[in-house]
Amino acid sequence: MRWLVAVGLLALGGEAQAQRVFPGGPAFPFSDSAVVIPLGTGTPVPNPERSGPATAVVVGRRVFLFDAGAGVMRRMAAAGLPIDGVTAAFISHLHSDHTLGLPDLILTSWVMGRSAPMRLHGPPGLRRMTDHLLAAWAEDTIVRVNGLERGRPGGYRLDLREIREGVVHDSDGVTVTAIRVPHGEWEHAYAYRVEAAGRSILISGDTRASAALERAATGVDVLVHEVYPESRIAPENRPGGELWPRYLREVHTSDVELGRIAGSAKPRLLVLTHVLFMGASEEEIIAGIRRGGFTGRVVIARDLARY
């Protein structure tokens, strides 16, 4: 269904670029400062209050998206962000909770008007994943292009880069650096540090406590980090559940560990996301952060908040 309303052409970097937003949403752009918007603060648990992992960093009219969990395009619309594509997207690792929204991001932005290839960065294996996704929806793209919708041929294309650690984006005052992090058996998992408009933001992706991340997070304005409560480590009552404590320690970061990391890195604001609550309250998680030694500002992220 095509129901789009053109919102005009805007000069950007010498190029005319249209950006479409969901009608009636919040005003866009917000400011020239780099604004962090957790679009999805959830985990694999399909919590209707917390969409799948996705974080936007908005710099003026440019939108940088980190991970594409389930529900990402509806959260983009709710946040007032363009629905016809982002400036660049970055995937932390290929776990399904971080990538289930990729076909949504790729195909919905095309149906909403994207005609240029979307810049997508991520670990080795991402190209294979997106090749399969586009193959899976081949019937859809054929019908949309050749049928009465007259979809733009090739508008679903990607400008895809499989990355290693280091600077992966540097354009018009925005730098994104990938930091390799340890995440269980995953060979390639990245945190990303963003420098833009005088702010520095580090987004952890999924990681166990990481010295490399701690170094990269030193003095950042905002540290967005995953976490679970150390006090709730216990075997689970299911086949393989005896491995759960080991899984947590090797794959994710506890509140006490994160408190120690933040106590050393000293971010101006610590934003907790991808929280595996495991029955703990928000207060218990914050108490764990304090036990680890962080005394600065800490919040548990909410979908669509702004930091």
**Which residues carry out catalysis?**
97
Token couple for 22? 């969901």
Closest contact distance (angstroms) between CB of 37 and Zn ion is 19
Closest contact distance (angstroms) between CB of 51 and Zn ion is 13
Cα–Cα distances in Å, from 71 out to 74, 105, 164, 279, 297?
A: 6, 9, 27, 24, 29
- Interface with Zn ion, residue 257, by CB under 5 A: no
Size of the site for Zn ion (CB under 5 A): 3
Do 257 and 285 form a contact (C-beta atoms < 8 A)?
no
In this chain, which stretch among 4-12, 69-77, 119-127, 205-213 interacts with Zn ion, using CB under 5 A? Answer: 205-213
Which residue lies nearer to Zn ion by CB, 95 or 144?
95
Residue 70's nearest CA partner among 36, 108, 99 is: 99
Give the per-residue contact string, 90-129, with Zn ion (x = CB under 5 A; - = no). Answer: -----x-x--------------------------------
- Interface with Zn ion, residue 206, by CB under 5 A: yes
Closest contact distance (angstroms) between CB of 97 and Zn ion is 4
Which residue lies nearer to Zn ion by CB, 97 or 104?
97
Which residue lies nearer to Zn ion by CB, 50 or 260?
50
Token couple for 41? 């603060």
Q: What share of the chain is helix, strand, coil (3-state, %, to 5)?
A: 25, 30, 45
Cα separation of 214 and 179, whole Å? Answer: 10
Burial label for 255, CB within 10 Å (0-12, 13-18, 19+), is: buried
In this chain, which stretch among 9-17, 202-210, 217-225, 278-286 interacts with Zn ion, using CB under 5 A? Answer: 202-210
Closest contact distance (angstroms) between CB of 74 and Zn ion is 19
Can you list the positions of beta strands (E) in 215-300? Answer: 222-227, 269-275, 297-300
Closest contact distance (angstroms) between CB of 274 and Zn ion is 6
Which residue lies nearer to Zn ion by CB, 107 or 275?
275
In this chain, which stretch among 75-83, 143-151, 200-208, 291-299 interacts with Zn ion, using CB under 5 A? Answer: 200-208
Cα separation of 296 and 264, whole Å? Answer: 11
Which residue lies nearer to Zn ion by CB, 177 or 207?
207
Cα separation of 286 and 10, whole Å? Answer: 43
Token couple for 304? 């669509």
Closest contact distance (angstroms) between CB of 95 and Zn ion is 3
In this chain, which stretch among 65-73, 88-96, 111-119, 214-222 interacts with Zn ion, using CB under 5 A? Answer: 88-96
Cα separation of 116 and 113, whole Å? Answer: 9
Which residue lies nearer to Zn ion by CB, 206 or 230?
206
- Interface with Zn ion, residue 188, by CB under 5 A: no
Torsion 92-98-110-195 (CA) sign: negative
Kindly list the residues in this chain that would bind Zn ion in the complex (CB under 5 A): 95, 97, 206
